[in-house]
Amino acid sequence: MTAGLNNYLVLSAVLFSIGLYGALSRKNAVVVLMCVEIMLNAANLSLVAFSRFVTPVALSGQTVAIFSITAAAAEVAVGLAVVIALYRQRGTVDVNDINLLKW
Amino acid sequence: MNLDLLRPEICMALTALAAVGADLLFKRKAIVTAVCLAGIAAATGLTFSIMGNAPQIIANRLFSLDDYAIFFKFLFLGLAFIVIVASVDYVNRMKDFHGEFHALLITATLGAMLTASATDIISILLSVELTAISFYALVGFLKNGKTAESSIKYVLLGAINSAVLLYGFSMLFGFTGSTVLSGMERATAAIPSGGAAGGAGLLFGLMLVIAGFGFKIAAVPFHMWAPDVYEGAPTPVTLYLSTASKIAGFAVLTRILVTPFMQPVALARNWGIILAGIAALTMTTGNLLAIPQVNIKRLLSYSSIAQSGYMLVAVAALGMSSSNFLQARSSLLYFILAFAFAELAVFTAIVVMSRNKPADLISDYAGLARRSPLLGVAMTLGLLSLMGLPPLAGFMGKFYVFTQAAQHGLLWLVIIAVVNSVVSAYYYLRIIKTIWTDEPASEEPVSSSLGPRFALAFACLGIAVLGVAPAIITRFSEFGSHMFMP
Amino acid sequence: MLQGYGYVALFLLVSLAFAGVMITLPVLLRKFKVIPYKPSAVKSSTVECGLETTGRSWVQFNPHYYFFALIAVALDVMLVFLLPWALVLAGLGVFALVAAAIFVAILSLGYIYAWRKGVLQWK
């Protein structure tokens, strides 16, 4: 038995939902960034799966995935830098404690 | 490949490198500013040299060069120039990282310029990320708890948002079989009209993409970050964020929706109606939440959310107009131009006021007109234009947009928008009253150098010209007539 | 379908059996006096070789590691692009060579920048 497009899409949707749930419910900013990585990789998975099954000759989906890995790396690098800056200023990375600005 | 058509962008990338290099080599801050302004001027010249051609495809369909892209390139270059000029005093006060600040502003501009002409999932993704990442760093630039907090909120929500965007793009790719917008267009053209709206998958992907760009333009269910980020960010960054970032979002959203997804009329109607709903929510929420604010940056962030709502009215009209979309798009571009000038006027005044110490409360602006007539007049003009008072640019923008929406069967939305404009008059007039009639805390005149004064004068001129004589920019040049009177 | 899961189950059984044997084998060998039994304090410590650990292992790392990690990540991502490029380079010609050279040059500029800013010094 080989996995078809549907299997990959379901896996990707499940991963995306897990990542989204984690990103919205976790308190630690670093863990939120890790959950975002799960979401991005879920999207990459569905891109590659679509590319494999819908356009098997052209590698367009794989190319997008490579570039999105780069973008994700840059995003997380800046994200971690901001987390460090926040820790230096406020001594916490708990997203529940960053509440100077509201309403 | 004809990469030479990307001349302005290459020039901007070199300028960013030169700004950092100048900061490493020279001690004087003015050199970095001069390098950046020279780079932007050169890029503007290069943009002139590539305009006027027929639409062209660049780098294997990654980018396209058409009038739409040229319009936004000029707009972003002009905005960057004015922002750098307007924040000279503010930035000189910062102790270090002078070069990085300017380099990040330039890369944000570069990303926005690329966004305007990107026509492939890869190039859209990368240029949007380039803008966003530059802004993440810029928002947290000052060393205090507030900017760090607004930056982390922006980064975390922005990262979640870019994952949603990428997932949406993967759906669009999967259900059309192409990463290029023109390829998607071919796929949607093959869908038989009259039947279903091209399948649930396509609409699902489109909704995720709209959610993704809804974050960038601060449309309502995705607007939560905007007030916090606008308030906490350094004021010049707020100025640039509220104009360039938002306009770039509209540029790419409109391009994605218009080129490939106009075709099964049912599909275009679907996203048109959804955007109309988002527009109604956005302007109502923005205007109602702006009323109780006491912090001026926060108030203006809600006002800018409301303005996004008016722009979304134009985008919704695009969806309802089916094939005849050029006029609706022109009205959107006109509104964007008017909005940019008004934001420039208001926020430049705030930048000037907060160059020595933060002047974030509305009460800090009491009697501003007496302390500095130029600042008072500029802020008043900007606010009145945002409100949409008749002889000014904002009125003409709203007039065009609402006319288009009414023509394409969105009369209910126009009524909501007009009611919203009336509501918004309350809080805009409250600031204007503070500026003109309240007693100032000190009679000390507000000094400003040549740069900010030039920016203010330019913005006021823009507001007046666009409002009093809209025909000037449509008749003045062939290009203008192309963009605004198709 | 079921056959596929059968292989997984077989694999699971073998690995469980292997783990069980590896745990019980020394005990049995010691019982039947095949191997000698001479316990000592050094032998029963957690780490047998190298320096003794000081403090707990759940400590916060020096944030300065972050800068080095960031530079390493930039190199990793460069490889993501250079590997596919290298595989097809023969068929692409001079243009691809120049393009990759520009790409690497921009990244090198980033390193020079980090170096001049003193990021690479351990403080």
Structural domains of chain A, ranges and CATH numbers in brackets: 5-90 (1.10.287.3510)
Determine the pLDDT at residue B471: 66
* Residue A103 reports pLDDT greater than 70: no
- Is the pLDDT at B14 greater than 80, yes or no? yes
CA distance B129 to chain A (A): 7
Tokens of B3: 């990469």
Is A16–B163 a contact, with Cβ atoms under 8 angstroms apart? Answer: yes
Cβ–Cβ of C116/B24 closer than 8 Å? yes
Q: What pLDDT is stored for residue B473 in this prediction?
A: 65
- In this complex, do A70 and C81 lie within 8 Å of one another by their Cβ atoms? yes
Percentage of the residues of chain B whose pLDDT score is greater than 90: 41
Residues of B in contact with C116 (CB under 8 A): 24
Answer whether B136 touches A (CB < 8 Å): yes
Asked if residue B486 has pLDDT above 50, the reply is no
From the number of C-beta atoms within 10 Å of its C-beta (0-12, 13-18, 19+), residue C54 rates as exposed
* Digit-coded pLDDT (tens) for B407-457: 888 899 999 999 999 999 999 999 999 888 888 777 777 777 888 888 888
Cβ contacts of C117 on chain B, cutoff 8 Å? 24
User: What is this model's ipTM?
Assistant: 0.95
Cα B276 to its chain centre, rounded Å, is 19
Instruction: State pLDDT tens for residues C14-59.
Output: 999 999 999 999 889 888 888 888 888 777 776 656 666 677 767 7
What is d(CA B302, CA B283) in angstroms, rounded to the nearest whole number?
Answer: 9
Least confident span in B26-40, B140-154, B265-279, B320-334: B320-334
Judged by a CB distance cut-off of 8 A, whether residue B144 touches chain A is yes
Reading the block at residue C68, the tokens are 């080095």
Nearest residue, CB atoms, A100 vs list B137, B145, B158: B145
Judge whether B218 and B305 are in contact, CB under 8 Å. yes
In this structure, what DSSP letter does residue B58 have? E
How far is the C-alpha of B428 from the C-alpha of B205, rounded, in Å?
Answer: 38
Judged against a pLDDT cut of 90, whether residue B373 lies above it is answered with no
| Closest residue in chain A to residue C70, using alpha carbons only | A77
Nearest CA in chain C to B19: C113
Per-residue confidence at A34, pLDDT binned at 50, 70, 90?
Answer: very high
Chain A: closest CA distance from residue C10 (Å): 17
Q: Which domain holds residue C30?
A: 1-45
The pLDDT score that the predictor gives to residue B250 is 93
Closest by CA position to A75, among listed B278, B327, B126: B126
Contacts of B132 in chain A (CB under 8 A): 75
Which residue in this structure is represented by tokens 């058509």?
B5
Domain count, chain C: 2
Q: What confidence score (pLDDT) does residue B484 get?
A: 58
Residue C93 has pLDDT above 60, yes or no: yes
Name the average pLDDT for chain A. Answer: 87
Which residues on chain C are in Cβ contact (under 8 Å) with A84? 63, 66
Mean pLDDT of A22-38: 91
- Tell me what percent of the residues of chain B surpass a pLDDT of 70: 94
pLDDT tens track for B301-356: 999 999 999 999 999 998 888 767 778 888 888 899 899 999 999 999 998 888 77
Nearest residue on chain B to A86, alpha-carbon basis: B148
Q: Which residue of C has its CA nearest to B14?
A: C106
The answer to whether residue C90 is domain-embedded is: yes
For the cut 90, the answer to whether the pLDDT of residue B374 exceeds it is no
Flag if A84 and C63 touch (Cβ within 8 Å): yes
Least confident residue range of B294-308, B469-483, C98-112: B469-483
- From B166, which residue of chain A is nearest by alpha-carbon distance? A43
| C68 Cα to chain A: minimum distance (Å) | 11
Q: What is the pLDDT of residue B474?
A: 63
More confident residue, A58 or B226: B226
Neighboring chain A residues of B221 at a CB cutoff of 8 Å: none
CB atoms within 10 A of CB A18: 14
Q: Name every chain A residue with its beta carbon within 8 A of the beta carbon of B228.
A: 101-102
* Residue B20 touches partner C, C-beta closer than 8 Å: yes
* pLDDT at residue number C48: 57
Longest dimension (CA), chain C: 72
CB-closest option in A82, A89, A98 to B144 = A89
The band of B65, judged by pLDDT with boundaries at 50, 70 and 90, is confident
Q: Is residue C36 part of a domain?
A: yes
CA–CA distance, B93 with B81 (Å, rounded to integer): 19
Task: Please give, rounded to a whole number of angstroms, the shortest distance from the CA of A16 to a CA of chain B.
Answer: 8
Task: Decide the pairing of beta strands B63-65 and B56-58.
Answer: antiparallel
Question: Does residue C113 surpass a pLDDT of 90?
Answer: no
Distance from CA of C107 to the nearest CA of B (A): 12
Q: Residue A28: what are its φ and ψ, rounded to 5°? A: -80, 125
Nearest-Cα residue of chain B relative to residue C95: B1
pLDDT of B51 reads 78
- b/e string for B240-260 if b means 16 or more Cβ within 10 A? bbbbbbbbbbbbbbbbbbbbb
Choose among B356, B357, B361, B386: nearest CA to B459: B386
Q: CA-based angle B197:B202:B207, to the nearest 5? A: 100
Tokens of B153: 């909120």
From chain C, pick out residues whose CB is under 8 angstroms from the CB of A73: 73-74, 76-77
Do A75 and B132 lie within an 8 Å CB cutoff? yes
Q: What is the mean pLDDT of residues C66-92?
A: 86
Burial tier of B169 (Cβ tally within 10 Å: 0-12, 13-18, 19+): buried
